[in-house]
């Protein structure tokens, strides 16, 4: 039986008192690893807390960033970010929230290995007037490396058209120096990818978009102060949110449903990767649900926890009406105010703190990703020829019926779309998810592959074994060769789909693959 809204409020109050008595927040800010794990020598904890002081660190870089943006934008029409997961999603949030600045180039985030997505950039503008931002913390991310190789050759190997964001001393760092990149931004090594929104990974793209970085950082610093080590947990917005999420999950409400209206909807994707990859491990996990339509057609069950991020009330309209209906039913709802795009700086920090605190309550390490390597390993096997490439079959009515029949209340269905992102694909996937919600008594999530491998992929394999995975793999009409590789993007994305399917099946997770997403609708 899941907790009620009133029970959750009681549990949260008790836990906040416990955090204060145990000095959890002061210890967190001091870098005490035992906030999360028993062994103080656990890797990827003490060396992943650089985000706590990110405001002052980046404030010292403002002049450099602003100068870089002015110089780099001279003579270019497009800026394209090549990155995955935490290295790209915060930029997508800011791109959609702020819109295009009239005196700055069009900004494009390329976080797909589908040939159609690559071709869209290759053929969608003047390559001689395009700046490429290559972002990878490790410097070896396979998707980013393959994209870089492609555009390096396509631009005639002009280093002045490339910028790198990476940690010091990585292969990408060395490559950028050797090949004369326009600039190299070396990020602090103690900041993990999904906690990097306010670091160079988020701010270099934001500078190219013409966003006021000083205001973003000012809001972030203000939130950091409110979440500081000497602020009582009950008054600490990051701690209060984190405790609420964790206690809801412990009480059976582990489906974190994010209600974020335009123009901030993409923030849900960033929160999704932060929370899912941080908490989905050791058989535990908080399941973020981003982008779900907020209407009366969805029969919410007792496994939901809602977070609504919208302007201050009173605000009339369908969103407030529906939210009121949810509150009347005594579903737990946390309301956060989000009105101005510059407040994203505050929200990035709030959610990072909340996720760290949730990890402390759940007694897990929110900074590692132990199961991500599983799909990478199986993908490498496919690409090397040591494992066979799966060939998805056309949708079969009986196979889909059997797959869906195993879904139980409290489970979830994850649609994994190895398709080129875009408005047409978005619409198709929305229809698929709507049909699935009509068929199952469970939450339905959706993510583009390979993007989701760097976010919810950890949760899918390391979290509770209640997921059912429907993999949609469209067959590209054209391929794009990858310089220096024996395979092109068509084989790469197919190998990534195969690799994740095999990793999931190795853990006993049910996976159903289909080759034609459009035909799936008629079968559903």
Residue 370 φ then ψ, to 5°: -65, -20
Strand partners for 133? 81, 163
Q: Name the residue range of residue 309's domain.
A: 5-51+219-362
What's the DSSP call for residue 261? -
Single residue among 177, 195, 211 that ends a domain in this structure: 211
Residues 236 and 181 in one domain: no
What SS3 class is residue 453? helix
Residues 350 and 420 in one domain: no
68 domain residue, yes or no? yes
- C-alpha dist (Å) from residue 40 to 23, 34, 36, 301, 331: 17, 6, 9, 39, 38
- C-alpha dist (Å) from residue 375 to 151, 417, 515: 26, 16, 20
pLDDT for the residue numbered 435: 93
What's the DSSP call for residue 448? E
Strand partners for 473? 418
Give the distance from CA 50 to its chain's centroid: 19
Residue 110 to residue 388: CA distance in whole angstroms:
28
Residues 231 and 330 in one domain: yes
**Structural domains in the chain (count):** 3
The reply to whether the predicted model has a pTM over 0.75 is yes
Residues 358 and 419 in one domain: no
Residues 285 and 337 in one domain: yes
Residues 197 and 279 in one domain: no
Residue 105 and residue 76 in contact, taking contact as beta carbons nearer than 8 Å: yes
From the number of C-beta atoms within 10 Å of its C-beta (0-12, 13-18, 19+), residue 290 rates as buried
Other C-beta atoms closer than 10 Å to the C-beta of 218 total 16
Residue 389 and residue 382 in contact, taking contact as beta carbons nearer than 8 Å: yes
What pLDDT digit, counting tens, does each position of 463-500 carry? 999 999 999 988 888 999 999 999 999 999 999 999 99
Single residue among 211, 244, 263 that ends a domain in this structure: 211
CA angle in degrees (0–180, nearest 5) for 58-62-63: 145
- C-alpha dist (Å) from residue 481 to 121, 151, 188, 517: 14, 11, 34, 25
Please name which of 379, 356, 351 lies closest in space to residue 367, comparing C-alpha atoms: 356
Residue 298 to residue 321: CA distance in whole angstroms:
15
- C-alpha dist (Å) from residue 405 to 199, 401, 490, 523: 45, 6, 32, 15
What's the DSSP call for residue 374? H
Residues 376 and 519 in one domain: yes
Residue 49 and residue 31 in contact, taking contact as beta carbons nearer than 8 Å: yes
Residues 476 and 456 in one domain: yes
**Strand (E) positions, 188-261?**
255-259
Query: In the chain, which residues have pLDDT < 70?
Result: 1, 296-297, 299, 314-316
Residue 90 and residue 269 in contact, taking contact as beta carbons nearer than 8 Å: no
Residues 399 and 503 in one domain: yes
Residues 44 and 79 in one domain: no
Single residue among 152, 180, 211 that ends a domain in this structure: 211
Please name which of 284, 249, 243 lies closest in space to residue 3, comparing C-alpha atoms: 249
192 domain residue, yes or no? yes
Q: Which two tokens stand for residue 418?
A: 């190895």
56 domain residue, yes or no? no
Residue 523 and residue 397 in contact, taking contact as beta carbons nearer than 8 Å: yes
pLDDT for the residue numbered 518: 79
Q: What is the 3-state secondary structure (H, E, C) of 117-177?
A: HHHHHHHCCCHHHEEEEEECCCCCCHHHHHHHHHHHHHCCCCHHHEEEEEECCCHHHHHHH
Q: Which two tokens stand for residue 121?
A: 């950039």
Residues 206 and 254 in one domain: no
Residue 253 to residue 328: CA distance in whole angstroms:
17
What pLDDT digit, counting tens, does each position of 103-112 carry? 999 999 999 9
367 domain residue, yes or no? no
CATH of the domain at 338: 3.40.50.10490
Residue 275 to residue 285: CA distance in whole angstroms:
9
Residues 507 and 376 in one domain: yes
């Amino acid at each position: 039986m899941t907790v009620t809204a009133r029970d959750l409020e009681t549990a949260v109050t008790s836990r906040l008192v416990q955090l204060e008595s145990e000095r959890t927040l002061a210890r967190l800010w001091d870098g005490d690893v035992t906030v999360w794990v028993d062994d103080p020598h656990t890797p990827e904890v003490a060396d992943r807390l650089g985000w706590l002081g990110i405001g002052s660190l980046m404030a010292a870089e403002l002049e450099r960033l602003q100068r870089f943006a002015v110089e780099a934008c001279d003579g270019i029409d497009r800026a394209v970010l090549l990155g995955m997961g935490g290295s790209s999603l915060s930029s997508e949030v800011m791109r959609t929230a702020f819109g295009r600045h009239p005196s700055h180039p069009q900004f494009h985030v390329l976080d797909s290995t589908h040939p159609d997505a690559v071709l869209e950039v290759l053929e969608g503008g003047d390559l001689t007037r395009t700046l490429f931002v290559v972002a990878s913390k490790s410097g070896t991310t396979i998707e980013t490396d393959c994209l870089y190789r492609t555009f390096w050759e396509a631009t005639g190997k002009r280093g002045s058209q490339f910028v790198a964001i990476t940690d010091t001393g990585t292969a990408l760092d060395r490559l950028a120096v050797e090949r004369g990149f326009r600039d190299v931004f070396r990020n602090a090594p103690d900041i993990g990818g999904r906690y990097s929104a306010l670091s160079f990974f988020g701010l270099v793209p934001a500078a190219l978009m013409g966003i006021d970085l000083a205001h973003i950082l000012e809001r972030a610093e203000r939130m950091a102060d409110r979440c500081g080590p000497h602020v009582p947990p009950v008054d600490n917005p990051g701690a209060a949110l984190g405790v609420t999420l964790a206690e809801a999950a412990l009480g059976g409400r582990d489906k974190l449903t994010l209600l974020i209206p335009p123009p901030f909807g993409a923030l849900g994707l960033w929160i999704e990767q932060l929370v899912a990859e941080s908490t989905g491990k050791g058989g535990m996990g908080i399941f973020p649900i981003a982008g779900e339509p907020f209407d009366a057609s969805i029969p919410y069950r007792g496994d939901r926890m809602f977070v609504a991020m919208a302007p201050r009330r009173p605000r009339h309209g369908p969103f407030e009406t529906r939210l009121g209906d949810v509150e009347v039913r005594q579903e737990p709802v946390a309301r956060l105010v989000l009105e101005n795009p510059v407040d994203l700086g505050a929200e990035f920090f709030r959610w990072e703190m909340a996720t760290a605190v949730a990890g402390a309550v759940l007694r897990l390490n929110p900074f590692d990703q132990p199961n991500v390597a599983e799909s990478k390993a199986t993908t490498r096997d496919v690409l090397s020829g040591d494992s066979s490439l799966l060939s998805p079959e056309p949708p079969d009515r009986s196979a889909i019926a059997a797959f869906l029949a195993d879904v139980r209340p409290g489970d979830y269905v994850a649609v994994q779309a190895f398709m080129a992102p875009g408005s047409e694909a978005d619409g198709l996937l929305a229809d698929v998810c709507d049909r699935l919600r009509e068929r199952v008594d469970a939450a339905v999530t959706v993510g583009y592959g390979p993007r989701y491998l760097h976010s919810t992929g950890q949760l899918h394999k390391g979290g509770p074994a209640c997921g059912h995975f429907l993999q949609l793999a469209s067959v590209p009409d054209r391929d794009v060769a990858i310089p220096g590789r024996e395979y092109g993007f068509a084989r790469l994305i197919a190998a990534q789909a195969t690799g994740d399917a095999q990793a999931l099946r190795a853990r006993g997770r049910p996976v159903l693959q289909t080759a034609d997403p459009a035909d799936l609708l008629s079968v559903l």
